[in-house]
């Protein structure tokens, strides 16, 4: 699969590139199918992208976008660690996104029940294959993506669309999309910035295929495309 890698000079340029890519994907989907079904990443990287999108209420018909999540912490939706709360504050509230457009993972529920409910939600809203127009992901310094963490991959049920994944480093469960859904998407984007990600990014992109060590290597869309948006700190030019 050809690798579509874009290296931006700094964090601000990376956020603008991610926001622009979102709109570039959304506009034709809305035009041709009347909607854009997208799963968003959590963590901190999306905050800057979301702020740029939130400042563009006229860029697309936001009422046509349905928002899903790539993963969620097992906390209530108003908890400081909640990916839903972060996204509500930086994107949904500024754009007046209706609750009916938002399909959040219920981090407040018992993890396995919440995962099963999201698995069923994905089938109901997207069909058995759960094909999303786009999945936006981040990557951690350890090479994880969504909540697919090193050393946990063997426990991921490949037949499920969403699972509760126990993450030893946190001593807690996380809710996450599985590679089944991620790799069924029409467009997958991984956005990663910062020097702390340089080593894992090099290993993910150019190292041996070791997905249990570097779960971001699991991202390989079956028929969709994969775009990497990184900054120069995470992907320094070869000397
Ligand atoms: C989460 C994310 C996670 C994130 C990476 C990168 O819930 O934390 O979904 O997979 O994308 O950890 O996080 P940063 O953007 O904060 O570096």
Of the candidates 81, 75, 79, 84, which has an alpha carbon nearest to the alpha carbon of residue 107? 75
CA distances from 140 to 25, 36, 157 (A): 24, 26, 22
7 burial type by CB count under 10 A (0-12 exposed, 13-18 middle, 19+ buried): middle
Query: For the segment 213-225, what is each residue's pLDDT rounded down to a tens digit?
Result: 999 999 999 999 9
Distance 41 CA to ligand 1 centre (A): 7
138 lines ligand 1 (CB under 6 A): yes
Query: For the segment 155-180, what is each residue's pLDDT rounded down to a tens digit?
Result: 999 999 999 999 999 999 999 999 99
219 lines ligand 1 (CB under 6 A): no
Name the β-bridge partners of 227.
4, 189
Residue 186 within any structural domain of the chain: no
Residue 236 within any structural domain of the chain: no
Q: What is the pLDDT of residue 1?
A: 44
Tell me which residue has its CA closest to atom 13 in ligand 1.
Answer: 43
Residue 62 within any structural domain of the chain: yes
3-class state of residue 30 by DSSP: helix
Residue 47 within any structural domain of the chain: yes
Q: What is the pLDDT of residue 168?
A: 96
Instruction: List, run by run, the mean pLDDT of 10-residue segments along the chain (239 residues).
Output: 85 98 98 98 97 98 98 98 98 98 98 98 97 98 98 95 97 98 98 98 97 98 97 91
Q: What is the pLDDT of residue 213?
A: 98
Residue 45 within any structural domain of the chain: yes
200 lines ligand 1 (CB under 6 A): no
CA distance 22 to 135: 10
Distance 139 CA to ligand 1 centre (A): 6
193 lines ligand 1 (CB under 6 A): no
Name the β-bridge partners of 149.
none
- The range of the structural domain enclosing residue 163 comes to 4-180+191-231
Supply the CATH number for residue 212's domain: 3.40.50.1360
Residue 185 within any structural domain of the chain: no
Number of domains in the chain: 1
pTM, 2 dp: 0.98
Name the β-bridge partners of 97.
none
Residue 195 within any structural domain of the chain: yes
Q: What is the pLDDT of residue 107?
A: 98
């Amino acid at each position: 699969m050809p690798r579509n890698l874009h290296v931006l000079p700094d964090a601000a340029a990376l956020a603008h590139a991610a926001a622009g890519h979102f709109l570039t994907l959304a506009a034709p989907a809305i035009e041709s199918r009347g909607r854009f079904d997208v799963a968003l990443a959590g963590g901190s990287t999306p905050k800057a992208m979301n702020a740029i999108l939130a400042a563009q209420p006229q860029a697309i018909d936001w009422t046509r976008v349905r928002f899903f999540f790539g993963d969620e912490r097992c906390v209530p939706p108003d908890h400081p660690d909640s990916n839903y709360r972060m996204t509500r504050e930086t994107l949904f509230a500024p754009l007046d996104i209706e609750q009916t457009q938002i399909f959040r993972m219920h981090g407040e529920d018992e993890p396995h029940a919440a995962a099963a409910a999201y698995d069923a939600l994905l089938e109901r809203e997207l069909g058995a294959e759960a094909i999303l127009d786009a999945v936006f992901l981040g990557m951690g310094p350890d090479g994880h993506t969504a909540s697919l963490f090193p050393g946990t991959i063997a426990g991921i049920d490949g037949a499920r669309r969403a699972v509760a994944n126990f993450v030893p480093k946190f001593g807690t469960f996380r809710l996450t999309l599985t590679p089944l859904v991620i790799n069924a998407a029409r467009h997958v984007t991984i956005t990663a910035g910062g020097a702390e990600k340089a080593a894992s990014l090099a290993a993910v992109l150019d190292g041996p295929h070791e997905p249990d060590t570097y779960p971001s290597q699991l991202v390989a869309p079956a028929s969709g495309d994969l775009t990497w948006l990184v900054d120069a700190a995470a992907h320094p030019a070869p000397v």
